[in-house]
Structure 1
Amino acid sequence: MDVLSDVLAAMRAGQPYAGRSTCSAPWGVRFPASDAACCHIVLQGGCSLIPAGGAPVPMGVGDILFTGPQHAHTLSDQPDSPAVDFQPNRGSGYSVVELNIPGRGATTEMLCVCYTFDLARPHPLLDTLPPEIHLPARVGNHSALRTTVDMLGTELHQPRSGTNAILPALIDMLLLHVLRAWLDEHADHTTGWATALTDPAIATTLHHIHHQFEKPWTVEELAKRAGISRATFAKRFTAAVGQPPLTYLTWWRMTTAARLLHNTDTPIHTIAQRSGYRSEYAFSKAFKREYGIPPNQYRRQRPATATQRWIPQTMAT
Structure 2
Amino acid sequence: MISYIRDEATNSRAGSDLILSRLLEVLLIETLRREASKLPNPGMLRGLSDPQLARAISDIHSDVRRGWTVAELAQRAGMSRSAFAKKFSAAVGLAPVEYLLRWRMAIAKDTLRHGRGSLEEIAEKVGYRSASAFSTAFSQRVGCPPSEFARMASLA
- TM bin, normalised by shorter chain, reads 0.7 to 0.9
Q: Is the 8 A contact 1:145 1:178 kept in 2?
A: no
> What is the rounded CA distance, in whole Å, between the counterparts of 1:141 and 1:194 in structure 2?
26
Q: Is the 8 A contact 1:142 1:181 kept in 2?
A: no
Task: Name 2:50's counterpart in structure 1.
Answer: 199
Q: What is the identity, as a one-letter code, of the residue corresponding to 2:107?
A: T
SS of the residue 1:217 aligns to: coil
Q: Where does the alignment leave 5 or more consecutive residues of structure 1 unmatched?
A: 1-40, 44-61, 64-138, 150-173, 183-191, 306-317
Task: Name 1:140's counterpart in structure 2.
Answer: 18
1:208 aligns with 2:86: no
> What is the rounded CA distance, in whole Å, between the counterparts of 1:193 and 1:280 in structure 2?
28
TM-score (norm 2): 0.76
TM-score (norm 1): 0.39
Runs of 4 or more above 2 Å deviation: 139-142, 144-147, 176-182, 192-195
Shift of 1:141: 5.5
1:1-317 superposed matches below 5 A? 41=1, 43=3, 62=4, 140=18, 143=21, 145-146=23-24, 176-179=28-31, 193=44, 195-303=46-154
Q: CA RMSD in A?
A: 3.1
Number of aligned residue pairs:
138
Shift of 1:178: 2.8
Q: Identical aligned pairs, as a percentage?
A: 39
Q: Is the 8 A contact 1:237 1:243 kept in 2?
A: yes
Shift of 1:196: 1.3
Shift of 1:301: 1.4
> What is the rounded CA distance, in whole Å, between the counterparts of 1:181 and 1:294 in structure 2?
32
Q: Which one has the largest radius of gyration?
A: 1
Between structures 1 and 2, the one with greater strand share: 1
> What is the rounded CA distance, in whole Å, between the counterparts of 2:57 and 2:143 in structure 1?
26
Cα separation, partners in 2 of 1:180 and 1:291, compared to 1, 3 Å: closer
Task: Name 1:91's counterpart in structure 2.
Answer: none
Shift of 1:272: 0.3
> What is the rounded CA distance, in whole Å, between the counterparts of 2:123 and 2:46 in structure 1?
32
Shift of 1:180: 5.9
Cα separation, partners in 2 of 1:193 and 1:213, compared to 1, 3 Å: closer
Q: Is the 8 A contact 1:237 1:244 kept in 2?
A: yes
SS of the residue 1:301 aligns to: helix
